[in-house]
Structures are given as C-alpha cells and as structure tokens.
Amino acid sequence: MSFHSLSLEYASEGSSNYIPWKDMMEVVLEDNELKEFIDNDISKPPISDTKDMAEWRKCVEKARRIILEGV
C-alpha cells in the first residue's frame, strides 16, 4: 500500500478551517482505502486470526497517522 499524504496547507487551525480540513481528511483517507474506519465501526478481528488482526492493526495505525499529521 502506498501512502497518499496531506499537504501542510490543510492542517487544522482550529474551528476556522474545520470544514476544509475535514473534507481533505476524508479524501486522503479514501485515497488510502481507510475511509471506512471513520465512517463505520470496524470491529477488531479475533486474536486467533493473526493475519486479519495484523492487517486491521496496520490500517488503524495508518489512519491515525494520517489524521495526526493533519492536526
């Protein structure tokens, strides 16, 4: 998976640019196939399913990183 990043001009500046920031975050998350993590409650897979658990964890951490980079 490649990472499509967020340019600094869209970083959150509080409530003054929340709507453009939110829209940009949705686009970046969608480009990275992670938008479902903010639109839905993606359940954690069973611990016994190590492959799915690893993929789920990777996606969650990637989504967090994208969001934190945009704050």
For residue 1, pLDDT beyond 50: no
What mean pLDDT comes out for the span 4-11? 57
Q: Which two tokens stand for residue 34?
A: 């992670």
Q: Provide the percentage of residues in the chain whose pLDDT is more than 70.
A: 80
pLDDT digits (tens, 9 = 90+) for 25-52: 999 999 999 999 888 888 889 989 999 9
What mean pLDDT, rounded, does the chain reach?
Answer: 84
Q: Is 35 helix (H, G, I), strand (E, B) or coil?
A: coil
Residue 63 resides in a domain: yes
Verdict on whether the full-model pTM lies above 0.75? no
Residue 1 resides in a domain: no
The count of domains in the chain is 1
Q: Which domain holds residue 64?
A: 8-69
Residue 2 resides in a domain: no
- Conformational region of residue 15, where left means phi above 0, alpha means psi within -120 to 50, and beta covers everything else: alpha
Q: Is 8 helix (H, G, I), strand (E, B) or coil?
A: helix
